[in-house]
Chains A and B, each alone.
Chain A
Amino acid sequence: MESKNYHEDLSHIRQMMEKSSRFISLSGLSGVFAGLVALVGAIYVYYVFQREGINYFDGNRNVFNQDLVKELILIGTVILILAILSGYFFTAKKSKEKNLKVWDKTTKRLLFNFSIPLVTGGLFCLGLLYHQLFVMVAPSTLIFYGLALVNAEKYTLTDVKYLGYCEIVLGLLSFFFLGWGLIFWAVGFGVLHVVYGLVMHRKYK
Chain B
Amino acid sequence: MISQLNKEFESRVRLGIMSVLMVNDWVDFTEMKNLLEITDGNLASHSSALEKSNFIEVKKEFVGKKPKTSYRVTQIGRKAFEEHLSALEKLIGK
A pairs with B: yes
Measured CB to CB, the residues of A under 8 A from B are 3, 6-7, 9-10, 12-14, 16-17, 19-21, 101, 104-105
Evaluate contact between B91 and A16: CB separation under 8 angstroms: no
Interchain pairs with CB closer than 8 A, number:
48
Evaluate contact between B20 and A20: CB separation under 8 angstroms: yes
Within 8 A of A (CB), among B66-94: 85, 88-89, 91-93
Evaluate contact between A10 and B31: CB separation under 8 angstroms: no
Residue of B nearest to A8 (CB): B12
- 5 A–B contacts from the bound complex (CB under 8 Å): A10-B92, A13-B19, A17-B19, A17-B20, A17-B23
Give Cα distance in the complex from A137 to B16, angstroms: 47
- In the bound complex, residues from chain A placing their C-beta under 8 Å from that of B34 are 101, 104
- In the bound complex, residues from chain A placing their C-beta under 8 Å from that of B27 are 20
Measured CB to CB, the residues of B under 8 A from A are 12, 15-16, 18-20, 22-24, 27, 31, 34-36, 85, 88-89, 91-93
- In the bound complex, residues from chain B placing their C-beta under 8 Å from that of A14 are 19
- In the bound complex, residues from chain B placing their C-beta under 8 Å from that of A9 are 12, 15, 88
Residue of A nearest to B27 (CB): A20
Give Cα distance in the complex from A12 to B12, angstroms: 8
Evaluate contact between A12 and B92: CB separation under 8 angstroms: no
Evaluate contact between B24 and A7: CB separation under 8 angstroms: no
Q: Provide the main secondary structure of the chain A interface.
A: helix
Give Cα distance in the complex from A9 to B20, angstroms: 14
Q: A19: which of B35, B88, B91 is its contact (CB, 8 Å)?
A: B35
- In the bound complex, residues from chain A placing their C-beta under 8 Å from that of B19 are 12-14, 16-17, 20
Evaluate contact between B88 and A17: CB separation under 8 angstroms: no
- In the bound complex, residues from chain A placing their C-beta under 8 Å from that of B91 are 3, 6
Q: A6: which of B12, B31, B92 is its contact (CB, 8 Å)?
A: B92
Evaluate contact between B15 and A20: CB separation under 8 angstroms: no
Residue of A nearest to B2 (CB): A1
Evaluate contact between B88 and A21: CB separation under 8 angstroms: no
Give Cα distance in the complex from A9 to B16, angstroms: 9
Residue of A nearest to B12 (CB): A12
Evaluate contact between B15 and A13: CB separation under 8 angstroms: yes
Evaluate contact between B92 and A16: CB separation under 8 angstroms: no
Residue of B nearest to A21 (CB): B23
- In the bound complex, residues from chain A placing their C-beta under 8 Å from that of B18 are 13
Evaluate contact between B15 and A21: CB separation under 8 angstroms: no
Evaluate contact between A10 and B88: CB separation under 8 angstroms: yes
